[in-house]
Amino acid sequence: MRAGRFSAVSAVVLLAVLSLLGATTPPGQGRSAAPATQRKPLPLAGLTVVLDPGHNPGNFRHPREINRLVNVGNGWKACNTTGTETNAGYTEAAFTLDVARRVRQLLLAEGAHVVMTQDGNVPWGPCVTERAAIGNRAHANAVVAIHADGAAASGHGFHVILPATVVAGAADTRRIVGPSRRLGVTLRNAFTTVTGEPFATYLGGGTGLMVRSDLGGLNLSRVPAVFIECGNMRNAADAARLSSPGWRELAAHGIALGLTRFLTGRTTADLPASLAADPSD
């Protein structure tokens, strides 16, 4: 979506997103409660979502623990990493935790049961293997790992990472590749529509999608799972957006919308015109 168009319609789009997510009245305006007999069931009632805020703000204090190698099925990876940061020092770990908390509030309002892999309540980690295990134990209907990239400063935009077919050791992604792709495409489309962030210019061939076989959080998952890299922290324009609380709220709405559409099976035809528009127009 071009920047000029986003600035002109962002308020309309956000109101449409709020409407789809159940908040039909703009924030700050009251509305009378409907009688209990008229209330519709919440759209995500009975469904479980796991949100995985990438890294941990305390990881840098525990290099020995996070550098320990763990088996991700087809190889060995560090338990976890510190993540990247903007040139001004705003860390990926702070960004991902803030966005995940915002997404959680939106999903809870939709009736979902939300599990966080960490909520700033553990000193480091957890390891990528444990992050996958949390989703599996919860029998999650969807898992989204929230990240921001640290690519060359010349590249900008976001992308969603999908699991490759991996059958090795404890990894067997054959059953989740298909549903994870549907989740990823739905999330990608919702995120760009709400935030105006374009697909990454530096990988994925302009599709906003990547398939990877080296991530433990995907390899070891038994439930639909994807990663979203919300932007490039090393790009000045992306860094300014990622550092803005207002834009992070938009990012949260984009992620929540993608999850709601995936979990409820809503198609583009079901959406308001402002959300159904092709984001590349």
Per-position b or e across 248-258, b if 16+ CB within 10 A of its CB = bbbbbbbbbbb
Please report, to the nearest 10 degrees, the dihedral formed by the alpha carbons of residues 95, 96, 98, 100 taken in order: 160
Are the C-beta atoms of 190 and 14 separated by less than 8 Å?
A: no
CB atoms within 10 A of CB 27: 8
Taking phi over 0 as left and psi of -120 to 50 as alpha, with beta for the rest, 106 belongs to: alpha
229 tagged catalytic: yes
Measured distance CA(149)–CA(200) in Å, rounded: 10
Of 110, 197, 229, 249, the active-site residue reads 229
**Encoded amino acid at 61, one letter:** R
Q: 3-class DSSP state for residue 174?
A: coil
- Find the helix or strand (DSSP H, E) in which 20 lies: helix 3-20
* Residues tagged active-site: 229
